[in-house]
Structure 1
């Protein structure tokens, strides 16, 4: 053994190998390399960009009969079961506390006071009838709504296959001649007037939107018969704009909608069907339709005076409404309509005829707007015209 040791030792020296003792790896403190790397990637595995995540594998599926939580998990994923266990958004106790809340009482009182003040500050008197009405919309707001309605009419005409008659058509030129005499007496020369005649022989109707957009259906012209009869219709439609009836109708919808939505809110949405359909129909019969008949009667009077001032024969208005009555056989009862019956219309126009004839005789036929100016002045002062 000693001889063998002597032989190996020189060999080790010749190879330059020095035997060193390798200390055992420490299990308590990391190496200097790990201490430099680990702080840069907290919560991650070494040499990996993926965060450490717990293993959520629950093993092979267990027998549902031996799993007490199986039925609960199945039912928790069932929408019907979840809906049956859902709590109501509004309970009787929460609603009772809400109604008894002092802050709610304060808000209600302030809202009522504000609404009453707003209502009385926007009351007007219609000069020709002395009727008090609520109108909170300005002329600019009404014109903006009218512009949207013009686009809707043009779209409907296009979709139904109808067309607008050209300016060269004799019916269009007839309407333009009548409007050329009625516009000066209306006092609305600054409006952007435009005449559109819709080719529809089956419809006898005409309307003038705020801002000066005139629409006439061709079926009305044979009933009008001449320019005097057409002036009675167009004078009536212009009168709606002079009396600001469109703004009044828009304003009336505010109160109706507030009443309907308040009932829906107080009933928790239970009476939404009855409120929307039945309640809306009742309010329509009690308020909207009677107001519409009053507006039509006012427009009949104003239009009659304007056509007389434009030197159109007011007697021709009687003939027009008589022909309209014959053409509209089977019209609904007056209480179901927004317009007076043709019979009552003829009776009223007959009562106003002496004054209209006097207006025509006093007119110089030069397109003066004496009646329209008098109407606007009386409406600003809140007085009735004599």
Structure 2
């Protein structure tokens, strides 16, 4: 599944990935290497790709494949800001959130099959709304919050300033990214709640 996801991303963005010698790629790699050294999983075959695209985003695939869009670079502004983004993404890998999501999906499937065995229509409990709003999205937000916490710890251990994570998400909010989506309908915490959470953690 990880290989398939990687192949799909490369098919979509491969022609826009900056070369390893590009200043943006070297900037991301320099910050990433410091975080990986303290992550506890530096034996993973980490790969960091910078995609020349205006999206203000970054994401990680299972196996340590991290993608950063150039659109987020003005938001991060500096190495500490980049560490806030990469620390979060690396933490998803450290916490094995991809495996957790797969396991959670298997649990939900098992629950549906059990209802079928008892003659109960699973759609009564597992319709689109309940699956998304009450199960899958809250679970995803839990993983995001955990990655936020772990990301701050990685930043501190790698001698980056964790307070910059608060500044990054404030700048993200000011940029208008993600506005208009209420938190309960999103896979991520709202920017406002994320800033408040991070502020509390770095005090």
Pair 1:321–1:151, CA change in 2 (3 A) = same
Residue of structure 2 in register with 1:254 after alignment: 106
CA contact (8 A) 2:58 2:67 kept: yes
Instruction: Return the alpha-carbon distance in structure 1 between the equivalents of residues 106 and 181 of structure 2.
Output: 27
Instruction: Return the alpha-carbon distance in structure 2 between the equivalents of residues 243 and 195 of structure 1.
Output: 18
Give the C-alpha shift of residue 254 in structure 1. Answer: 1.0
- Residues 1:345 and 2:194 are matched in the alignment: yes
Query: What are the within-5 Å matches in structure 2 for residues 256-275 of structure 1?
Result: 256-260=108-112, 275=123
Deviations 1:222-258 (Å, cap 9, x if unpaired)? 1111111010011011111111211110011112223
Structure 2 gaps, min length 5: none
Q: Which residue of the other structure, out of 143, 149, 155, is the alignment partner of 1:295?
A: 143
Give the C-alpha shift of residue 195 in structure 1. Answer: 1.4
Q: What count of residue pairs does the alignment treat as equivalent?
A: 201
Structure showing greater relative contact order (alpha-carbon pairs closer than 8 Å, 6 or more residues apart): 2
Kindly indicate which of the two structures has a greater share of residues assigned to helix: 2
Structure 1 gaps, min length 5: 1-144, 355-386
SS at match of 1:191: coil
Residue of structure 2 in register with 1:187 after alignment: 40
CA contact (8 A) 2:89 2:147 kept: yes
Give the C-alpha shift of residue 333 in structure 1. Answer: 0.5
CA contact (8 A) 1:197 1:218 kept: yes
Q: In angstroms, what is the RMSD of aligned CA positions?
A: 2.2
Pair 1:263–1:155, CA change in 2 (3 A) = farther
Deviations 1:181-211 (Å, cap 9, x if unpaired)? 111010111111111111112x111122232
Instruction: Return the alpha-carbon distance in structure 2 between the equivalents of residues 281 and 176 of structure 1.
Output: 40
Query: What are the within-5 Å matches in structure 2 for residues 21-36 of structure 1?
Result: none
| TM-score normalised by the chain length of structure 1 | 0.49
Residue of structure 2 in register with 1:315 after alignment: 163
Instruction: Return the alpha-carbon distance in structure 1 between the equivalents of residues 51 and 180 of structure 2.
Output: 23
- Residues 1:336 and 2:192 are matched in the alignment: no
CA contact (8 A) 2:64 2:93 kept: no
Residue of structure 2 in register with 1:175 after alignment: 28
Residue of structure 1 in register with 2:4 after alignment: 148
Residue of structure 1 in register with 2:131 after alignment: 283
CA contact (8 A) 2:17 2:51 kept: yes
Instruction: Return the alpha-carbon distance in structure 2 between the equivalents of residues 264 and 156 of structure 1.
Output: 39
Give the C-alpha shift of residue 148 in structure 1. Answer: 2.1
| TM-score normalised by the chain length of structure 2 | 0.90
Give the C-alpha shift of residue 330 in structure 1. Answer: 2.4
Residue of structure 2 in register with 1:123 after alignment: none
Instruction: Return the alpha-carbon distance in structure 2 between the equivalents of residues 331 and 317 of structure 1.
Output: 22
Q: Give 4+ residue runs of structure 1 displaced > 6 Å after superposition.
A: 264-268
